[in-house]
Amino acid sequence: MPDVVIIHPESPSPRIQFGLNLLSSRLEAQGASVSRSTHFQPAHSDGTRILLGVRGASADVDELEAQEILLYNSGVPARDGYYVASLPGSLTVVTGESESGVLYGCQELARQIEAIGEVPRDLDRGEAPDLVLRGPAIGLQKTTVEPPRQVYEYPINRERFPWFYDRSTWLDLLDLLFSERANVIYLWSGHPFSSFVRLPDYPEAQEVTAEELAENRELLSWLTAEADRRGIWIVVKFYNIHIPLPFAVHHDIALHQPTPTALTSDYTRQSIAAFVDQFPNVGLYTCLGEVLQGDIYGAEWFVDTILAGVKEGVARSGRDELPPVIVRAHAVDLKPILAQALTSYPRLFTEAKFNGESLTTWNPRGKWQDIHRDLAAQGSLHIVNIHILANLEPFRFGAVSFIQKSVSAIVHRLASHGLHLYPLFYWEWPLTPDRAEPRLRQIDRDWIWYAAWLRYAWRSDRDADGEREYWTRALADQFGSREAAAGALDAYEAMGQVAPRLVRRLGITEGNRQTLSLGMTMSQLTNPGRHRPWADLWDSHAPAGERLETYVQREVRGEAHVGETPITVVEDACYFAERAVAAITRGGEHVRRAVDEYQRIADDAEAIALMAAFYRLRVEAAVAVVAYREGDGRSPGQDVPSLQRAADQIDKSVTLYERLTELTDRSYYYANSMQTPQRKVPFADGHEFAHWRQCLPLYLEEAKNFRANVDRLATGDVATVRPESIPPTAFTPAPYDLLSESAEKYTVRAGQSVFADADSNIREIAPELDGMTGVRFNSSEAYEGQVSVTLRLNRPSQVLIGYFQSAESVWLQVPDLEVDTHADARGGLEPVLRSAVAVDFLPVVNVHSFSYEAGVHTLAMGAGAYAILGVTVADQVFTGRNVLGEADPYASLDWLYEGTDVDERSAK
């Protein structure tokens, strides 16, 4: 190879220096003698020149443009784009719109040199990314909570996060991301500041030792520099209002603060200012929802605390330019916040979830399509978040065409500008859940997940045949033959269709609450309303179609079906799962390398096939149960044979689940990475029900109960089957003091008003509540915003909150795990009494119970009116019964899945 001289800027930036070093190493590997110069070199007969420079900053590049020697046939490089051109005189130019563009141009030229063994003489190639920001999220998170801390709250040290200090793993990740032209890493934490900065005014906020603080600071500085060399921006994510545990203890305040105070605002502002000053190249990314009541206080907190802190930090560091700040559209309406914030801080980026907390479709629609389009139209940069992936856990996902279609939708239909990509097992980064020793790393197991999303984030419109060839070559490099590669690729593509289809049509939620791979109970399929279904799942994150109850109702009435149905979904799921098994089996005999990993893909394919067949049988049984209910199910004995056939299907589904348990016992440590009480489906508590073997006994019991109850129906033994009513008894009151002057106590009974300023009189009331001591305040204030009430509890107690059953904004809404991971921290998600109070001219009231320890507590429930209907003892037992116009419990048929013993059922 001829000698090569690389001409570069006099003081190259870290990114251009990295590209320069990359080119030099590739050239030297081909036997070239490489020299470097900061001055443009004349052509000579036995040498090659490579010129590196940013358009507009390199006089040599500008001169070549002016002389019309350097022309851009595919267009002038756009943002972070590059152009590589072979010019007369053995000159190759690598230029770009920015230093990142030059870096990517060096990368492309290095690939060409490696492919053909020399500097090409016919280059004329330019590209720019479809999406401006492209990169993964990495959580400084754990699978379980550390009481008294709550979800997200983990001070950063070696004991909790040994991987954070492993520089070799970081370099492996950075090199993987650079190979796919990623340019951002989003580091997620609840409250990272107390692990990286020390505040003289708040020494009590420190959560790590002085030695740990120094190590954290040094590591983050090193990581930021190493990432920047590869064109990658480090961004740190934090929640609001989270404060350090020692700070909360010192000031005797709650760990989570839903409303701003002077103390929490000053502490947070100082933390942000110190962080921005000391880490000027690290970005900030924040969530104004969940704990903070963002729709009430979001603009105030964002502008007066967060952005004020950023500006203060910038001023301290002596910089002039404000850094970008990313803000999430999660559990908050961002538009009014942006309207206020953009006037003083124009460099705001926005983020919103693609399919909620799962991957369900490449075509989000409805409300969430509108959210993305509206935010993208704000004139800033909007990022789409591929979030959590709860429905994909714990399996591999390599359906590259599914991913390509998703990115195409992000670029074209959602008109968005960035990709935020979660790992497939977020809460236990960097490890996978595979049963292997040593443990597998996600960047190794799931390389195709990252490679596909980042490849299409760079350019989504690519030829299908060319893409199949590209991925076949990549997998052939892994498994040693094209035949094995074709089997793996076809299996990945087919497996990737199963979980998205199942969850979007059958699931209770796309969120953290549900682990799809662990199955669903019959009650969750036939009576989803009992389990708090999340309507966004099928209204926005699924194609148009029918939920199971609608499907059965149309079947019973003989009506035509519309769109995707539960039956077509389970049929499709089994079809794709069977194709995956066939494909991976077909390629198995051709595997030459990575044999163990190929077998793990085969195990995933088999597990997904068992899961799909399990769902198919249960959906067919569920259709029979709901049809019985929709028909004449109130007359026991009619069409019982359909229920007997359903019992057979449920039994068969459990037999499949036993096989699935046996398989996953040897292949996975657990199914879900978030092993906390937030996981509710199929069974409450993600730690107690983290593996199939833990769920199997409950499915066996459900099947046994169903068959026994159906057999009793068949014999006409109805009396022992029908649930019996439990006589209501009054709740036991607990003493408390009301400390709010703007509220008053009253006796909860018929004729009393639930509000202090209106004749909102109780017309009917549950006997359990009659005579309790409630608290009332002015409804007019609550209609306009939040009304907080402060109580002193003499002992651990439960506060009874009445929610008016209306979605109108004037009424307080029940907390929801879909938008607030901490919604269940004090209980209160499920009603303890349904339709418990009728109030003149107002919606009916459901009662929820929230647990509090002894002490002073301010109830800051959120915007909208509600009723405080009393305080009861901590061990009060609730039935959850429907009080007014009590529905026949026989009608839901949930009792079919419960124990046949009446006393046993009553105890539940």
Percentage with pLDDT > 90 across the chain: 89
What would the two tokens of residue 188 be? Answer: 């997620």
Question: Residue 223 in contact with residue 270, Cβ under 8 Å?
Answer: no
What mean pLDDT comes out for the span 642-646?
96
385-444: pLDDT as tens digits: 999 999 999 999 999 999 999 999 999 999 999 999 999 999 999 999 999 999 999 999
Question: What's residue 888's pLDDT?
Answer: 52
Counting DSSP H helices and E strands in the chain, the numbers are 26, 24
What would the two tokens of residue 412 be? Answer: 């074209």
What mean pLDDT comes out for the span 767-794?
94
Question: What's residue 45's pLDDT?
Answer: 73
DSSP one-letter string for 18-50: HHHHHHHHHHHHTT--EEEESSPPPP-TTEEEE
**Residue 680 pLDDT exceeds 60:** yes
15-67: pLDDT as tens digits: 999 999 999 999 999 999 999 999 998 887 788 999 999 999 999 999 999 99
Question: What's residue 776's pLDDT?
Answer: 97
Strands 47-54 and 3-7: parallel
**Residue 635 pLDDT exceeds 60:** no
545-593: pLDDT as tens digits: 999 999 999 999 999 999 999 999 999 999 999 999 999 999 999 999 9
Q: Which residues contact 568 (CB under 8 A, 6 or more apart)?
A: none
Question: What's residue 904's pLDDT?
Answer: 45
785-825: pLDDT as tens digits: 889 999 999 999 999 999 999 989 899 999 888 888 888 88
Q: For the chain, what are the domain ranges?
A: 4-127, 133-472, 496-690, 736-888
Q: Return the DSSP state at 305.
A: I
What are phi and psi for residue 598, nearest 5 degrees? Answer: -60, -40
Alpha helices in 589-687 (DSSP H): 595-630, 640-667
Strands 133-139 and 184-188: parallel
Question: What's residue 875's pLDDT?
Answer: 96
What mean pLDDT comes out for the span 153-168?
98
What would the two tokens of residue 652 be? Answer: 């068969």
Query: Among 243-252, 627-636, 742-751, 842-851, which is the least confidently predicted range?
Result: 627-636
202-223: pLDDT as tens digits: 999 999 999 999 999 999 999 9
**Residue 637 pLDDT exceeds 50:** no
Whole-number Å distance between alpha carbons of 165 and 831? 45
**Residue 636 pLDDT exceeds 80:** no
Question: What's residue 12's pLDDT?
Answer: 97
Question: What's residue 499's pLDDT?
Answer: 98
Strands 82-87 and 91-96: antiparallel
**Residue 338 pLDDT exceeds 70:** yes
Query: Could you tell me the fold of the domain covering 4-127?
Result: Chitobiase; domain 2 (3.30.379)
Whole-number Å distance between alpha carbons of 825 and 815? 10
Question: What's residue 887's pLDDT?
Answer: 54
pTM of model > 0.85? yes
In one letter, which amino acid is 49?
R
Helical (H) or strand (E) element with 482:
helix 482-495
**Residue 908 pLDDT exceeds 50:** no
Whole-number Å distance between alpha carbons of 50 and 317? 37
| Averaged confidence pLDDT in the chain | 94
Question: What's residue 907's pLDDT?
Answer: 37
Question: What's residue 633's pLDDT?
Answer: 45
What mean pLDDT comes out for the span 897-907?
56
Q: What CATH number was assigned to the domain covering residues 133-472?
A: 3.20.20.70
What would the two tokens of residue 476 be? Answer: 């052939």
Whole-number Å distance between alpha carbons of 859 and 799? 10
Whole-number Å distance between alpha carbons of 545 and 402? 20
Residue with structure tokens 């002389």?
A: 67
Question: What's residue 720's pLDDT?
Answer: 55
Strands 744-747 and 773-776: antiparallel
| HEC readout, 51-113 | EEEECCCCHHHHHHHHCCCCCCCCCCCCCCCEEEEEECCCEEEEEECCHHHHHHHHHHHHHHH
Q: How far is CA 617 from the centre of its chain?
A: 29
**Residue 298 pLDDT exceeds 90:** yes
